[in-house]
Amino acid sequence: MFRYFIYLSFDGTNYHGWQIQPNGASVQETLMKALSTFLRREIEVVGAGRTDAGVHARLMVAHFDFDTELDGEVVTDKLNRLLPPDIAVYGVRRVKPEAHARFDATSRTYKYYIHTRKNPFRRGYSWRIFQPLDFERMNEAAQTLFDYTDFTSFSKLHTDVKTNNCRIMLARWEQTGDGEWVFTIRADRFLRNMVRAVVGTLVEVGRGKLTVDGFRRVIEEKNRCSAGTSVPGHALYLTDVSYPDDLFL
C-alpha cells in the first residue's frame, strides 16, 4: 500500500467540524466521498486533528492509503473538480507507509480573529467585541501559558484523551488593522475546545474581570469551570501543521 498526505483548506461555515457526524455534514466525510468517487473504491481519510463546528482551516493535512502509485497533481485536480467550492486541495504528496497525519505532527498553529468596530465583511469570519480590551494585559497573561503543560482547565469535559498535557510554543495578540486583532497560538497538540477556551479566558483578562495572576490560578486549578466561556468557532482558523522532513518520499 502507498500512503499519501493531502493538503487542503476549508471554510467551515456549513460543516459540523472535521470529524464525521451522524447528523450533519463534515469535512472528513465530504473529502472521503470525493476520493472514493475518483478512485472507485471506499477510501478512509485520517486528519491531523479535529476542528469544531464552524471552524475554518487555511491548512489541514490528512492521509489516505491506496494500492497503486498515484500522480499527486492529477489527484489534486480531480479532487478539486469533485469537491464543493468551500473545500480546496492544494497538493497530494506520497509519504512513508507508517507516516500518520495526526500522530506525526510536530506542531499545529491556530489563529483567532476579533474586531471591535462594526464591519459587514468580517462578521462571518471574525468575532466582534463591543467592550474595549487591554491587549497589553492579555499578552502578559498569554505569556504565562509557557510556564505550564497541563491545560485541563481549557479542555472540553469528558473527552477520551490519555493526557491533558500540551507544550505551548507561541501565544500572542497582534493588531492587524484599525480595530482588528488576531491571536496566534502554536503547540505540539491541542485539547478539544482548548483554543476557544483560552481566548475566552484571555478576553476576561482584557475586560478587567480577571487579573494575570487570576489567569495563572485558572490554569493551576485544572478545572474547566474556572476558565472563561468558549468564544464562537466562526473566528477560529487552523493555519499550519508541521511534520518532520523525513516522512516524505
DSSP 3-state of 116:
coil
- Give the Å distances, CA to CA, from 27 to 54, 84, 92, 203: 11, 10, 17, 29
- Cell numbers 498535557 correspond to 165
DSSP 3-state of 221:
helix
3: Cα separation from own chain's centroid: 23
Catalytic, out of 11, 52, 104, 240: 52
CB 128 within 8 A of CB 47: no
Closest CA to 125 of 235, 242, 230: 235
| CA 222/CA 163 separation, integer angstroms | 12
- Give the Å distances, CA to CA, from 200 to 196, 207, 220: 6, 11, 17
Kindly give, in sequence order, each residue whose CB lies less than 8 Å from that of residue 172, ignoring residues fewer than 6 positions away: 139, 142, 183, 184
Q: Is 36 left (phi over 0), alpha (psi -120 to 50) or beta?
A: alpha
Among this protein's residues, is 134 annotated catalytic? no
- Cell numbers 469544531 correspond to 52
Q: Among all residues, which ones are annotated catalytic?
A: 52
